[in-house]
Amino acid sequence: MEAPRPKKEREAGTAGGPQPKYGFATKAVHSGAAPDATTGARITPIYQTASYVFEDVDHAASLFNLHTFGYIYSRLTNPTVSVLEERVATLEGGRAAVGAASGHAAQFITFFTLLEPGDEFVASRNLYGGSLTQFGLSFKKLGWHCTFVDPTDPENFRRAVTEKTKAIFIESLANPGGIIVDIEAVAKVAHDFGIPLIVDNTLATPFLCRPMEWGADIVVHSTTKFLAGHGNSLGGVVVESGKFNWGANDKFPSLSKPEPAYHGLTFAETFGDFAFTTKARAVALRDFGPAMAPMNAFLTITGIETLHVRMERHCANAAKVAEFLAAHPAVSWVSYAGLPGSKFKALQEKYLPAGAGAVFTFGVKGGFEAGCKIVENVRLFSHLANIGDTRSLILHPASTTHRQLTEEQQIAAGAGPDVICLSVGLEDVGDLIADLDQALKAAG
């Protein structure tokens, strides 16, 4: 398996000793990559291979025993995926990362690495609808129990922790949008109990928010969204900060106790500050197989190279669209943290000073029926279940992503019958506003 490079090299994106501390844009373009040593190709190649030749029997044994790092099989590691892992880890300010086939797969291998049957974790109730279902229903079949709380009061997390609680999970910028969680305060709660804070940073991206600077221990992404940025590739990634002490208590035996699958090796002791991602790769990714495809890694690497440019335009467009909707007579409310009247404005200025993101919700007068009519009458916005695309997207969550929930659960998740979710793209903002205006009028 590929080992993380020393941080001084990772920040520079090239090997060869100490380098200057580069800015975000430079790291987004260069981190983890170098010209191909064999051909001189400047772009990271797509290593479309299933396996890799061993030097000899001893080399193979060392790889399988985790005594040395390298490539064995693309379910575990792949050179193209490794570049992406290093790039995201660098941008998040983390120690190491592991890629997965999707954001859901990234969440699964995270919790599989942390939890035993009967364990619990506490999560924000304002999450992507698929995460609510994964945590609340599917995880139950594995013996993992999730307690959902209102994230707007950090003390709600404290009140929900029990002796069996092994982690707290939040989204930095909630999907569907507008809600920003006080990361620093929730991190303190987690650390008071000796458990890690896991933050889904998909909507904010590391360009707008770096949760590890505020105490997060693990960051997950659906790279499908803004990191890839063009709606063309699925993926997920898990990043660890390298700062959490897995041996400080007896809550995490999978990391602090000998691992039978590797002759009694103890991951926390052997791998130190990148123990978590190594275990997630060497066991969860190995045994369940949700590997990221090299082509998807390549497309995501390419997308990240323009992340800083795209996010500036996404945020600028979203702010103007939100202002328009807030003044529209057919709209009852807008949940966008960048608006002056938002109750999350102070948190936005603290955690996302460069912008409030590009995904947010608004309430349409007329409820469920009006919401359905709006998504059927837009011409420029695409009606589909995705976010983070260059194209502007629209969704009525109550009839799609959150339809499996009761109306009470939908409302609690910020996806009630009247809610419309927008992912504002990179088009001319005047065209986007005109399209929404005519759709609102068509809906009556």
Q: Are residues 356 and 383 in the same domain?
A: yes
Residues 6+ apart with CB under 8 A from 1: 63, 66, 69, 70, 71, 72, 76, 77, 278, 281, 282
Q: Which of 31, 61, 33, 64 is nearest to 47 (CA)?
A: 33
Percent pLDDT > 70 in the chain is 95
Residue 429 belongs to a domain: yes
Query: Considering the domain boundaries, does residue 257 fall inside one?
Result: yes
In DSSP notation, 271-337 reads HGGGHHHHHIIIIIIHHH--PPPHHHHHHHHHHHTTHHHHHHHHHHHHHHHHHHHHT-TTEEEEE-T
Burial readout 411-434 (b: 16 or more C-beta within 10 A, e: otherwise): bbbbbbbbbbbbbbbbbebeebbe
Residue 109 domain-assigned? yes
- Tell me, yes or no, whether 58 lies in a domain: no
Kindly indicate the confidence band of residue 10, based on its pLDDT and cuts at 50, 70 and 90.
very low
Buried/exposed 250-261: b ≥16 CB within 10 Å, e otherwise:
ebbebbbeebee
Question: What is the C-alpha separation between 389 and 412, in angstroms, rounded?
Answer: 26
234 and 263 share one domain: yes
CA distance 287 to 8: 33
Orientation of helix 79-92 relative to helix 294-304, angle to 10°: 40
CA distance 86 to 95: 9
Q: Is 365 within a domain?
A: yes
- 280 & 420 share domain: no
Last residue of a domain, one of 268, 300, 332: 300
Q: Which of 257-266, 303-312, 424-433 has the lowest mean pLDDT?
A: 257-266
- The H helix count followed by the E strand count for the chain is 19, 12
Q: Are residues 119 and 211 in the same domain?
A: yes
Both tokens of residue 254? 């999978």
Quick one: tokens of 184? 């620093």
Q: Given 269, 300, 331, which residue is the final one in a domain?
A: 300
Task: Specify if 48 maps to a domain.
Answer: no
Query: Do both 321 and 424 map to the same domain?
Result: yes
Q: 6 pLDDT exceeds 60?
A: no
Both 185 and 98 in one domain: the answer is yes
Q: Are residues 236 and 358 in the same domain?
A: no
Looking at 259, 274, 300, the residue that finishes a domain is 300
Instruction: Tell whether 286 and 367 lie within a shared domain.
Output: no
| 36: in domain | no
- Scan for tokens 């659906």, then name that residue: 222
pLDDT at 186 over 90: yes
- How far apart (Å, rounded) are the C-alpha atoms in residues 307 and 61? 40
383 shares its domain with 271: no
Residue 224 within any structural domain of the chain: yes
- Stretch among 12-21, 51-60, 93-102, 306-315 having the lowest mean pLDDT: 12-21
Look-up of token digits 């040593």:
37
CATH number, residue 380:
3.90.1150.10
| Same domain? 290 vs 354 | no
Structure tokens at 37: 């040593």
Identify the H or E element spanning 300: helix 294-304
pTM for the full predicted model: 0.93
Total number of domains constituting the chain: 2
CA dist., res. 402 & res. 129, Å (int)? 5
Alpha-carbon span 120 to 131, nearest angstrom: 15
Domain ranges, residue 387: 307-442
Q: Which residue has the tokens 């994230």?
A: 151
Give, for 106, the enclosing helix (H) or strand (E).
helix 103-114
* Alpha carbons 227 and 75: distance in angstroms, whole number: 22
Query: Residue 202 maps to which CATH number?
Result: 3.40.640.10
Same domain (yes/no): 118, 159: yes
Asked whether residue 271 falls in the same domain as residue 374, the answer is no
392-419 per-position pLDDT tens digit:
999 998 888 777 778 888 787 777 889 9
Q: Using the 8-state DSSP alphabet, how is residue 173 labeled?
A: B
Report d(CA 11, CA 355) in Å as an integer: 24
Note the residue count of the chain. Answer: 444
Please tell me whether the peptide bond between 176 and the residue prior to it is cis, using omega within 30 degrees of 0: yes
pLDDT band of residue 17 (cuts 50, 70, 90) is low
